[in-house]
Amino acid sequence: MPTDAALPHDVDRRSTSIDEAVAFYERVYDSPDINVGRAVPDGFSWRYRAVGDDEVTVGTSSVGANRWGTVGQGTGYVLAWATAPGLTLDSASRDPLQMQPGVPVMYPVGRDFAFEALPTTQHLIRFDSGFLESVAAARRATVPGPLTFTSTTDAAHLEHLRGLIRAAAPELLDPGTDRDRRAALNMLVAESVVDAYDAAPTVDVALFEGPATMRFAQEWMIANAHRPITGTDVVRAAGVKARALQATFQRHADTTPMAFLRQVRLHRVRAQLVAGDPTSTTVAATAGAWGFAHLGRFAAFYAESFGERPSETLRRVQRFG
């Protein structure tokens, strides 16, 4: 079945030009420092193929030469694995990571890092930060925030993750995959990554205790907080009548479902402002990305929740950074 609209990420680039490869990968990796050296004996070529939506993009990168440089911090989370030895992440650190063939690892997060690579092929899955953070929060029963990951995973989790990726990859790489099917696969892969690498939000706010329906509604709202969901969407997902869900939230948490969702989004905005660069991050854009259309009301909710204006949170990075 065809998708409802063209995917935002459908890229297939290749050539035999080193200059084109450098320029392209500097854009992909948000870096001014990508270098390509001696080519393989049968000549130089490169190819980059990536397909995905605003939640998950899967891709393959093949470069027929040694390369080194810096990968920029970017705005998402990346799971990657190489097909052969010779790819090192964080190569300038005291603890470089030698990627083993076929073993997925998470890229370092929240900072730039150096890399070195022999000619090889690398497979990547890039997760939108808000999407993966919401999935991790739902698994942890807390609100979304920037994630930390363990550097390794146990054999059982690794085998489950690799099996799931093998099964999902053909459909995720197919631009014609139905939107709903793609969303379901995105969620399955994201949940497996969260479990395998013990992804933990740095924001720790527990869910309200209550009946199973209420817990499900909270977890569903956390997992979908990055989407433009409504009260009707929450009720439909929970499978109960609106009046019953409202009464359950009032009885057990003295709040409403949409007020809970607003708090989740406020915490997520705060996490992004705390981590943001005051020279490029704006309160309006961050709030808008999390569904706050009216900046004045958002600022009032924010101040009531955190005791300061959102602009003060953002400026703190500059004062103490």
pTM of the model: 0.70
Question: Quick one: 52 and 139 in the same domain?
Answer: yes
What's the CATH number where 103 sits?
Answer: 2.60.120.10
Question: Quick one: 58 and 154 in the same domain?
Answer: yes
Question: Quick one: 219 and 185 in the same domain?
Answer: no
What's the CATH number where 272 sits?
Answer: 1.10.10.60
Quote the tokens at residue 49: 């193929």
Question: Quick one: 257 and 297 in the same domain?
Answer: yes
222 burial type by CB count under 10 A (0-12 exposed, 13-18 middle, 19+ buried): buried
Quote the tokens at residue 124: 């990547």
Which pLDDT tens digits describe the chain residue by residue (321 residues)? 344 456 788 999 999 999 999 999 999 998 999 999 877 777 899 999 999 998 999 999 999 999 999 998 777 899 999 999 999 999 999 889 999 999 999 999 878 899 999 999 999 999 998 889 888 888 877 777 788 898 888 899 999 999 999 999 999 999 999 999 999 999 999 999 999 999 988 766 667 888 999 989 998 998 888 888 999 999 999 999 999 999 999 999 999 999 999 998 998 888 888 777 788 889 999 999 899 989 999 999 999 988 889 998 887 644 333
Question: Quick one: 199 and 250 in the same domain?
Answer: no
Question: Quick one: 187 and 135 in the same domain?
Answer: yes
Q: Are 210 and 149 in contact (CB under 8 A)?
A: no
- Count of domains forming the chain: 2
Question: Quick one: 155 and 270 in the same domain?
Answer: no
183, 206, 229 - which closes a domain: 206
Question: Quick one: 10 and 38 in the same domain?
Answer: yes
Sign of CA dihedral 181, 228, 310, 253: negative
Question: Quick one: 187 and 253 in the same domain?
Answer: no
Q: Give the domain range for residue 239.
A: 212-320
206, 222, 254 - which closes a domain: 206
